[in-house]
């Protein structure tokens, strides 16, 4: 850190916040922690209700780490509208080794039966929570019923996110440990040696993408449907479809798709309308797809799976020379990681998006009522209130006017939206420890990007292999999805799972955030397109339309001279 | 601790071994009319003939009757005689073709039989020479004979055998024999071919403390993979100390084991131990006990404190080598 000075009485180096991003610390201890901005999940400012939501999410994270006997807890804080978190160890140094051993044992026990834990315990429970929300009639509930529903929503949310972290921790740790072992054994086998053993498995993200692709093939089968998709802007497509029988039939198919896969907004968070509320993003993808010639996702998957099986067989051959404990550990981690790579996407479909959509509906019902009462101007302004404010204003109708409060907070958010938040605040305690946990965090979040020698070269993490050259399209939200054409390089801050239908159109992906185990990188490998993730500055450096060369193996992006 | 172990094996696994006590065996004329045997299996009566198979093989063969020694066979001095005079001994590059066709057929057949005994088609084997007069003049033959590990396939075994023979006739070997006043013309050599145990854990054990000389303790050094990394001193092994009187583990030091020897195509190589495994104990408490009991039984059997090499593969214990400790400090 260049803007750092050595703090007194500690080994940590205090990070000086830039003047436009002032920080005051409520507790002296907090300043000793390293507060990281999670740009991958929360690149934008968070609204007060979202802050409460994320606070609950990481409370659930702490429950999961406690359940796994892991010595780490996360503290979270909204600083200048951006969401930061800091890891804290909760065990005395002398007890650390014993605690780690217990945690390893617990983690191994979960890794040993990831798939059956998911199918027999976690997934049925997730479904039961989602069904509970779906049977509640929000619009007809009395105020006390709605308030009760909110309380139960919040407590079920805590439980769902505890399940979330109980799933993802062993899933990702298995993948990361398999990669650690693979590198120990077969050093020099490229950045993706271990990840080839995990490719070609289906998951909910790919399933949703495939269903959308198949919908585009059905659109091509009807001249009328194709004409509507080609000729009308996305917001008008649905209405236009209704005007012909073939269009009407297609609209019904689209509705069925949205009911199944459309409970996803464009990013993690509460404020983003889901596709079932606004299908524009799905339609923009369809408009891209009908311009592309046939690809067969099922055949592509089979190819990936065959490659994977051949790679696994080759590794098993090489392992015949090794002692039994090495082979046993490899097989253990391979099974867990192959189950984990599927769960690393599936959990998000049901919890990150499925459950969040239900929460969003509950909060929007509060918003609708507050709007009707004149407490706020727009339904979605509810996200600018705190949970307590929501509770209080619904309980006593017409008692408050929060419009100026919302306006104040909106201005605050817009002010900070224009400011790039520092990646870290508090104290720089050095790189994460080189232990299995530290390596997993590094592979998931990506760590700080290394500096490049040349201003025309961006360094990031190798995300998906291959090398490709194409015009860059900087996509800041799915509203821009239409400008992406086949052969373009998609440049984005982060890509949440609902972005991956774009991967069928893009020639390569470049992101600001994330590591080799980020959603973006995992799915790019399934699409077999090059990806460089975690460059830190792609969206602010690369201009729309610029020619770029993406080297997914080296983690390099070169901006080509015009 | 490692230094002590390594220093006892300056020239490799067998350098300190002096063979059975002098005078117990007639080392020139084969008994039982075994003149015709080119192949002798460990544990068979024929393999008790020092004049046929050399002291090292005789010792292993006797151990094989009572202890879990990996299966193997010898190409005897008779086989050597059948090959003597062939061109390679005059300087031609040793190869499978150095064996007379009939002898090659017998070797290939024995190798197949060994495969059946091990339950694999083409087992990896250790090929090493077993000189017939190793202890004849108190000479240790340190570094004079070759060892080939993980040789796979009959042709490769035959080639390794030819190399063993040739090395016994190298100018260096002849010089050594001259210096030690050993016969230059009547010299013959046997070659031992034994299943290579692809060890999960290898161990060097002393049925008396090799440093203090304390005969009431068994010391076990153990590390991952084949034994070469322990014997060669490139790894700090785990060390377990067992008190014979009550079979209590009195000390247990788990080392950070960074290097291990694994098999490679027609040989072995030393690699880094994967990080997850480095600080893990190599032996369970039960295995420490099993090994200590083996060491004590060998000591009783040999009538002398012993230095033992053994290995675990798939939780089964194998005895690879056992020899009296000749350098034991005087204790008590």
ipTM score: 0.88
Helical packing angle, A234-241 and A223-231, nearest 10°: 150
The CATH number of domain A446-559, selected from 3.40.718.10, 3.50.30.10, 3.40.50.150, 3.40.50.300: 3.50.30.10
d(Cα A470, Cα A313) in Å, to the nearest integer? 36
Task: Report the relative pairing of strands A531-533 and A508-511 from DSSP bridges.
Answer: parallel
Of A209, A207, A127, A109, the closest CA to residue A166 belongs to: A109
**Spacing of C-alpha B143 from chain mean position:** 14
Question: What's the pLDDT at B172?
Answer: 67
Summarised one tens digit per residue, pLDDT across range A243-290 is 999 999 999 999 999 999 999 998 999 999 999 999 999 999 999 999
Question: What's the pLDDT at B173?
Answer: 67
What percent of chain A stands above pLDDT 90? Answer: 87
Here the tokens at position B316 are: 């089964």
Question: What's the pLDDT at A397?
Answer: 66
Q: Which of B224, B275, B314 sits opposite A184 (nearest CB)?
A: B275
Which residues from B are below 8 Å from A180, CB to CB?
274-276
CA distances from A356 to A50, A158, A520, B157 (A): 11, 12, 20, 67
Edge-to-edge order in the sheet of strand A531-533: A457-459, A556-559, A547-551, A467-474, A489-492, A508-511, A531-533, A461-464
What's B226's DSSP letter? B
Other beta carbons within 10 angstroms of residue A20's beta carbon come to: 11
Q: Which of B201, B264, B275 sits opposite A180 (nearest CB)?
A: B275
Question: What's the pLDDT at A6?
Answer: 38
What average pLDDT score do residues B152-166 get?
Answer: 91
Q: Are A456 and A56 in contact (CB under 8 A)?
A: no
Residue A405 has pLDDT above 70, yes or no: yes
Q: Are A77 and A84 in contact (CB under 8 A)?
A: yes
Residue A5 has pLDDT above 60, yes or no: no
d(Cα A355, Cα A131) in Å, to the nearest integer? 10
Task: Report the relative pairing of strands A467-474 and A489-492 from DSSP bridges.
Answer: parallel
The SS3 call for residue A511 is strand
What average pLDDT score do residues B88-116 get?
Answer: 84
User: Average pLDDT of chain A?
Assistant: 93
Reported as type and span, the H/E element at residue B252 is: strand B248-253
Cα dihedral value B1, B7, B10, B15, nearest 10: -90
What is the number of CB-based contacts under 8 A between chain A and chain B? 41
Other beta carbons within 10 angstroms of residue A137's beta carbon come to: 8
Question: What's the pLDDT at B189?
Answer: 83
d(Cα A48, Cα A81) in Å, to the nearest integer? 8
Instruction: Please name the residue of chain A whose CA is at the shortest distance from the CA of residue B278.
Output: A326
Helical packing angle, A204-220 and A297-319, nearest 10°: 150
User: Average pLDDT of chain B?
Assistant: 82
Q: Which residue has the higher pLDDT, B329 or B228?
A: B228
Touching check for A319 and chain B: CB below 8 Å? no
Q: Which of A181, A184, A324 sits opposite B200 (nearest CB)?
A: A324
d(Cα A500, Cα A483) in Å, to the nearest integer? 15
Query: B263 vs A180: CB contact, 8 Å cut-off?
Result: no
What's B225's DSSP letter? B
Residue A490 has pLDDT above 80, yes or no: yes
Domains of chain B by residue range: 2-195, 201-324
Reported as type and span, the H/E element at residue B130 is: strand B124-131
Q: Are A359 and A270 in contact (CB under 8 A)?
A: yes
Q: Which residue has the higher pLDDT, B196 or B92?
A: B196
Q: Which residue has the higher pLDDT, A13 or A329?
A: A329
Query: A323 vs B276: CB contact, 8 Å cut-off?
Result: no
Question: What's the pLDDT at A141?
Answer: 97
Residue B20 has pLDDT above 50, yes or no: no
Query: A184 vs B260: CB contact, 8 Å cut-off?
Result: no
Residue B50 has pLDDT above 90, yes or no: no
Touching check for A434 and chain B: CB below 8 Å? no
Which residues from B are below 8 Å from A324, CB to CB?
200, 313-314
Question: What's the pLDDT at B48?
Answer: 87
Q: Which of B198, B264, B274 sits opposite A185 (nearest CB)?
A: B274
Q: Residue B32: left if φ>0, alpha if ψ -120 to 50, beta else—which one? A: left
Here the tokens at position B3 are: 């230094």
Of A331, A349, A333, A344, the closest CA to residue A171 belongs to: A344
Query: B276 vs A322: CB contact, 8 Å cut-off?
Result: no
Residue B177 has pLDDT above 80, yes or no: no
Q: What is the CA radius of gyration of chain B?
A: 20
CATH class of B2-195: alpha beta
pTM: 0.90
Residue B142 has pLDDT above 80, yes or no: no
Question: What's the pLDDT at B307?
Answer: 94
Here the tokens at position A102 are: 């217990």
Q: Are A269 and A42 in contact (CB under 8 A)?
A: yes
Instruction: Please name the residue of chain A whose CA is at the shortest distance from the CA of residue B199.
Output: A323
What's A450's DSSP letter? P
d(Cα B17, Cα B322) in Å, to the nearest integer? 9
Interface test with B, best of A321, A333, A437, A438 (most B CBs within 10 A): A321
**Spacing of C-alpha B270 from chain mean position:** 19
CATH 3.50.30.10 residue ranges for chain A: 446-559
What's A117's DSSP letter? I
Query: A323 vs B224: CB contact, 8 Å cut-off?
Result: yes
Question: What's the pLDDT at A348?
Answer: 96
Question: What's the pLDDT at B138?
Answer: 40
What average pLDDT score do residues A220-248 get?
Answer: 95
Summarised one tens digit per residue, pLDDT across range B78-97 is 888 888 755 445 556 778 87
Residue B15 has pLDDT above 50, yes or no: no
d(Cα A55, Cα B198) in Å, to the nearest integer? 53
Reported as type and span, the H/E element at residue B206 is: strand B201-206
Query: B280 vs A325: CB contact, 8 Å cut-off?
Result: yes
Question: What's the pLDDT at B92?
Answer: 66
Question: What's the pLDDT at B332?
Answer: 45
What average pLDDT score do residues B39-63 get?
Answer: 89
Q: Are A515 and A421 in contact (CB under 8 A)?
A: no
Q: Are A16 and A6 in contact (CB under 8 A)?
A: no
**Residues with Cβ within 8 Å of residue B195, at least 6 apart in sequence:** B70, B71, B72, B114, B117, B118, B123, B124, B125, B126
Touching check for A26 and chain B: CB below 8 Å? no
B211 phi/psi in degrees, rounded to 5: -100, -50
Which residues from A are below 8 Å from B264, CB to CB?
321
d(Cα A238, Cα A229) in Å, to the nearest integer? 9
CA distances from A17 to A2, A26, A424 (A): 12, 16, 9
Question: What's the pLDDT at B2?
Answer: 32
**pLDDT category, A75, cuts 50, 70, 90?**
very high
The SS3 call for residue B193 is strand
Query: A323 vs B199: CB contact, 8 Å cut-off?
Result: yes
Query: A325 vs B262: CB contact, 8 Å cut-off?
Result: no
Question: What's the pLDDT at A290?
Answer: 92
CA-based diameter of chain A, in Å? 76
d(Cα A111, Cα A499) in Å, to the nearest integer? 29
Touching check for A137 and chain B: CB below 8 Å? no
The SS3 call for residue A13 is strand
Q: Which of A177, A323, A329 sits opposite B260 (nearest CB)?
A: A323
Q: Which residue has the higher pLDDT, B108 or A453?
A: B108
CA-based diameter of chain B, in Å? 60
What percent of chain A stands above pLDDT 70? Answer: 98
The length of chain A in residues reads: 562
d(Cα A71, Cα A62) in Å, to the nearest integer? 10
**Residues with Cβ within 8 Å of residue B274, at least 6 apart in sequence:** A180, A181, A184, A185, A326, A329
Residue ranges of E strands in A7-95? 13-15, 34-37, 72-79, 82-89
The CATH number of domain B201-324, selected from 3.30.300.30, 3.30.1180.20, 3.10.180.10, 3.30.470.20: 3.30.470.20
Q: Which residues of chain B have a Cβ shorter than 8 Å from any chain A Cβ?
A: 198-201, 224-225, 260, 262-264, 271-272, 274-277, 280, 313-314
**pLDDT category, B255, cuts 50, 70, 90?**
very high
């Amino acid at each position: 850190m260049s803007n750092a000075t050595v703090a007194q009485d500690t080994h940590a180096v205090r990070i000086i916040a830039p003047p436009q991003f002032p920080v005051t610390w409520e507790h002296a201890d907090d300043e000793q922690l390293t507060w990281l901005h999670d740009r991958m999940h929360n690149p934008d400012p968070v609204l007060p209700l979202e802050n409460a939501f994320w606070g609950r999410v990481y409370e659930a994270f702490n429950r999961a780490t406690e359940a796994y006997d892991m010595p780490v807890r996360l503290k979270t804080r909204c600083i200048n509208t951006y969401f930061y978190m800091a890891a804290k160890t909760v065990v005395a140094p002398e007890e650390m080794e014993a605690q780690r051993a217990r945690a390893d044992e617990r983690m191994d026990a979960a890794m040993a039966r990831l798939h059956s834990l998911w199918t027999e315990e976690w997934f049925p429970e997730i479904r039961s929570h989602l069904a509970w929300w779906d049977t509640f009639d929000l619009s007809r509930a009395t105020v006390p019923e709605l308030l009760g529903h909110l309380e139960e929503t919040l407590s079920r949310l805590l439980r769902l996110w505890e399940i979330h972290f109980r799933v993802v921790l062993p899933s990702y740790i298995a993948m990361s440990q398999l990669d650690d072992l693979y590198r120990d054994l077969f050093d020099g086998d490229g950045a993706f040696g271990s990840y080839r053993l995990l490719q070609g498995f289906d998951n909910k993200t790919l399933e949703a993408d495939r269903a959308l692709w198949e919908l585009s093939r059905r659109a091509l089968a009807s001249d009328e449907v194709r004409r509507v998709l080609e000729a009308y802007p996305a917001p008008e497509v649905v209405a236009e479809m209704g005007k012909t029988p073939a269009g009407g039939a297609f609209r019904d198919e689209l509705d069925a798709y949205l009911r199944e896969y459309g409970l996803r907004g464009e990013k993690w968070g509460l404020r983003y309308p889901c596709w079932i509320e606004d299908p524009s993003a799905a339609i923009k993808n369809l408009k891209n797809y009908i311009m592309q010639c046939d690809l067969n996702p099922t055949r592509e998957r089979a190819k990936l799976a065959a490659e994977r099986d051949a790679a696994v067989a080759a590794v098993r051959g090489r392992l015949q020379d090794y002692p039994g404990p090495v082979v046993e550990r490899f097989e253990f981690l391979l099974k867990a990681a192959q189950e984990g790579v599927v769960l690393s996407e599936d959990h998000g479909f049901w919890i990150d998006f499925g459950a969040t959509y239900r929460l969003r509906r509950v909060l929007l019902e509060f918003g609708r009522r507050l709007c009707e009462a004149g407490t706020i101007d727009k339904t979605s302004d509810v996200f600018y209130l705190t949970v307590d404010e929501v509770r209080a204003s619904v309980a006593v109708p017409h008692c408050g006017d929060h419009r100026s409060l919302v306006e104040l907070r909106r201005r605050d958010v817009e002010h900070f939206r224009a400011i790039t938040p520092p990646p870290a605040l508090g104290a720089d305690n050095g790189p994460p420890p080189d232990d299995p946990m530290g390596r997993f965090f590094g592979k998931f979040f990506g760590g700080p990007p290394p500096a490049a020698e040349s201003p025309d070269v961006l360094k990031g993490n190798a995300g998906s292999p291959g090398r490709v050259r194409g015009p860059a399209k900087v996509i800041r939200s799915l509203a821009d999805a239409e400008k992406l054409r086949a052969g373009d390089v998609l440049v984005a801050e982060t890509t949440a799972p609902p972005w991956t239908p774009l991967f069928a159109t893009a020639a390569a992906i470049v992101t600001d955030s994330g590591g080799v185990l980020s959603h973006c990188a995992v799915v790019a490998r399934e699409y077999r397109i090059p990806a460089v993730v975690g460059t830190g500055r792609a969206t602010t450096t690369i201009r729309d339309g610029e020619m770029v060369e993406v080297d997914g193996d080296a983690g390099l992006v070169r901006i080509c001279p015009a | 601790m490692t230094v002590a172990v390594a220093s006892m094996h300056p020239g490799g696994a067998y350098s300190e071994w002096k063979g059975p006590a002098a005078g117990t065996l007639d080392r020139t004329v084969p008994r039982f009319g075994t003149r015709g045997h080119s192949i002798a299996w460990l544990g068979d009566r024929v393999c008790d003939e020092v004049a046929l198979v050399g002291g090292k093989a005789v010792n292993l063969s006797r151990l094989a009757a009572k202890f879990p020694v990996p299966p193997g066979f010898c190409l005897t001095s008779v086989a050597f005689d059948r090959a003597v005079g062939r061109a390679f001994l005059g300087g031609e590059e040793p190869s499978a073709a150095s064996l007379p066709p009939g002898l090659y057929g017998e070797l290939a057949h024995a190798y197949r039989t060994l495969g059946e005994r091990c339950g694999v088609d083409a087992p990896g084997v250790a090929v090493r020479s077993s000189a017939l007069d190793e202890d004849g003049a108190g000479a240790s033959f340190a570094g004079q004979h070759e060892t080939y590990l993980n040789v796979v396939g009959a042709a490769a075994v035959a080639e390794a055998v030819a190399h063993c023979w040739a090395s016994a006739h190298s100018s260096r070997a002849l010089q050594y024999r001259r210096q030690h006043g050993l016969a230059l013309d009547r010299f013959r050599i046997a070659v031992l071919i034994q299943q290579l145990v692809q060890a999960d854990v290898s161990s060097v054990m002393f049925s008396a403390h090799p440093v203090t000389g304390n005969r009431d303790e068994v010391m076990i050094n153990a590390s991952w993979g084949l034994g070469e990394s322990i014997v060669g001193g490139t790894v700090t092994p785990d060390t377990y100390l067992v008190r014979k009187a009550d079979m209590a583990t009195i000390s247990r030091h788990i080392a950070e084991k960074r290097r291990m020897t694994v098999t490679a195509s027609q040989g072995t190589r030393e690699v880094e131990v994967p990080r997850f495994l480095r600080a893990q104990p190599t032996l369970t408490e039960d295995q420490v006990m099993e090994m200590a009991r083996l060491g004590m039984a060998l000591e009783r059997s040999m009538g002398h404190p012993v230095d033992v090499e053994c290995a675990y593969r798939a939780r089964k214990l194998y005895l690879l080598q056992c020899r009296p400790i000749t350098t034991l400090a005087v204790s008590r």
